[in-house]
């Protein structure tokens, strides 16, 4: 899901589109498919976690310096 928090110059692939791609791409076996899906979920979770920390640090700096929040 595109949230706009990515620093990547490319538009992130929608979560459902990526999952559909993973499920429709031939895999050697069921275990390999599950590994692909699990790796994708871990990667997305890691990016979301990092984005959350980045947002939290930005907010903490804003509060510490007394600057107003930008919409």
What letter does residue 70 receive in the DSSP assignment?
A: P
> Could you give the 3-state DSSP secondary structure of residue 3?
coil
Note the pLDDT of residue 69.
62
Note the pLDDT of residue 70.
60
Note the pLDDT of residue 7.
46
Q: pTM score, two decimals? A: 0.54
User: In 3-state terms, the chain is what percent helix, strand and coil (to 5)?
Assistant: 65, 0, 35
**Average pLDDT for consecutive 10-residue bins of the chain (71 residues)?**
44 75 84 88 88 87 74 59
Note the pLDDT of residue 2.
42
């Amino acid at each position: 899901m595109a949230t706009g928090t990515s620093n990547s110059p490319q538009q992130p692939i929608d979560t459902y589109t990526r999952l559909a791609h993973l499920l429709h791409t031939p895999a050697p076996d069921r275990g390999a498919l599950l590994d692909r899906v699990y790796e994708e979920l871990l990667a997305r979770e890691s990016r979301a976690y990092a984005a959350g920390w980045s947002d939290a640090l930005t907010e903490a700096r804003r509060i510490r310096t007394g600057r107003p929040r930008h919409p």
